Amino acid sequence: MKKVVIHKAGDYKELKIEEFSDLKANITEVVVEVKASGINYADIIIRWGLYESAKKFVGWPITPGFEYSGIVKSVGAGVTKFKVGDKVFGVSLFNAYASEVCVPEHQLYAIPEKMSFEEAAGFPAVFMTAYHALLQIVVTRPGMVALIHSAAGGVGSSLVQLCKIKGIKTIGVVGSSHKVQTLKDLGCDFIIDKSKEDLWKKVQEHAPHGVDLAFDANGVETLQKSYDHLAPSGKLVAYGAHSMFPKKGGKVNWPKLVIDFLKTPRFNPLNMTSENKSLITFNLSFLFDRRDLLDEAMIDLLMWFDEGKIKAPLIKSYPMEKVGEAHRDLESGMTVGKLVLIP
């Protein structure tokens, strides 16, 4: 088998493709011959040596990748849900940038008939993140208004679709005009192209009394303003800090990172109490042992996919040998939907 290995923090040249012995399944494990691996921004943070769960659970060397699709190659003696030859997709705590992956049975799901290998590989991380952000850590009600930053990206476009299912009005923000049509196709209620429009003036126009939910993976660039534009009892859900990191070059700008860290707003719980506003944060990679949350999310998501209520993300594929190019494109902020690797 082959996989992408990172031996130390750095730019694209640290993404090495190396050969290894084929994997063997233990009693309750399944080995999957990988057909596609999803790429997430977290993988870039891993490459820079800044992803907390990667440092805590693995260290160096590390193979990135949280999601994959493929065909069952072998199963452990205790596996009951899957057999050799089944088409599956799932999640893993790293190691998915590979031609084979070995995971516990409960981290696998059958690929829906209408979903391709590439779509399946790009499905779980973004939709599970969106599901957790919208449906497991806040209480939703029809008629709410949600502000969604990076709304044409993987998590953002997933949030738009889930909000529509729950009767929540969506204000989707994009940074480039070529992303607007993607949100129109998803039925986003209001679209703000911040490359041409005043972001916060437009938010005020669309939600004069404030937004009930704000989903922000930008970090310091928009975090305070997102909080300021919450309605009473509003919730700011933060799950990333993309604006602290470079969009080209592949290397961390350490002076900027330090400055942005110092500029990141700190929220006083006493003030938040008086303002009736809340901040909620999470990192899905620290929740892989919460089978109850993962199973609940995937059961609903696959049901909605079968019913046609949600669509798999738009996909752009790269051969594994061009993993550095894929990282470069994702860092640029110009991509739409999901990127996947093909072993």
Q: What is the mean pLDDT of residues 302-328?
A: 96
**Average pLDDT score over residue span 93-114:** 96
Q: Which CATH number among 3.40.50.720, 3.40.50.2300, 3.20.20.100, 3.50.40.10 corresponds to the domain 138-281?
A: 3.40.50.720
Supply the pLDDT for residue 169: 98
* pTM as predicted: 0.95
CATH architecture for segment(s) 2-125+313-342? Alpha-Beta Complex (3.90)
18, two tokens: 């190396």
Residue 311: its pLDDT value, please? 95
Mean pLDDT of the chain: 96
The Cα angle at residue 155 between residues 151 and 159, in degrees rounded to 5:
70
The identity of residue 138, as a single letter, is V
Q: Distance between CA 227 and CA 222 in Å, rounded?
A: 9
Q: For residue range 127-165, what is the model confidence (pLDDT) as tens digits?
A: 999 999 999 999 999 999 999 999 999 999 999 999 999
Reported as a single tens digit per residue, the pLDDT across 318-328 is: 999 999 999 99
Task: Give CA separation, 226 vs 85, 240, 255, in Å.
Answer: 47, 14, 25
pLDDT score for 289: 85
Give the least confident one: 9-18, 41-50, 243-252, 264-273: 243-252
- Reference 91, options 143, 131, 56; nearest CA is 131
186 band by pLDDT with thresholds 50, 70 and 90: very high
- Identity of the amino acid at 230: L
Domains 2-125+313-342 and 138-281 equal at CATH topology level: no
**Cβ neighbours, 10 Å, residue 79:** 19
Domain definitions of the chain by residue range: 2-125+313-342, 138-281
Quick one: DSSP state of residue 134?
I
